[in-house]
Amino acid sequence: MLLLNYNSLLISMPGGTEWILIILAVLILFGGRKIPEFMRGLGRGIREFNDAKSNVKKEIEEGMSEKDNSAAKAKQEA
């Protein structure tokens, strides 16, 4: 059985120096012009995900209210 504790999570997280190296590597690989395009695409993806999530939640709530309404009508007719 694999157990993770809080200390092992702290060790695996990059620190300040590592983040700087990661950012520099991204800048070197992609250049300054590609990063804003990437971020716009990432923002659009997050926005679409949130829209889909709210649509699914709304449909579930509507389905539950329809079920409640049909159950109430069945009780009234009986």
Residue 60 placed within a domain: yes
> Is residue 1 situated within a structural domain?
no
Range of the domain at 46: 6-77
In a domain, 40, yes or no: yes
d(Cα 52, Cα 70) in Å, to the nearest integer? 27
Burial 27-52 (b: 16+ CB within 10 A, else e): eeeeeeeeeeeeeeeeeeeeeeeeee
Residue 46 is predicted with a pLDDT of 96
- Structural domain tally of the chain? 1
pLDDT tens-digit readout, 48-75: 999 999 999 999 999 888 877 777 677 7
Read off the pTM.
0.53
For residue 28, pLDDT beyond 80: yes
Binned at pLDDT 50, 70 and 90, residue 44 comes out as very high
| pLDDT of the residue at 1 | 45
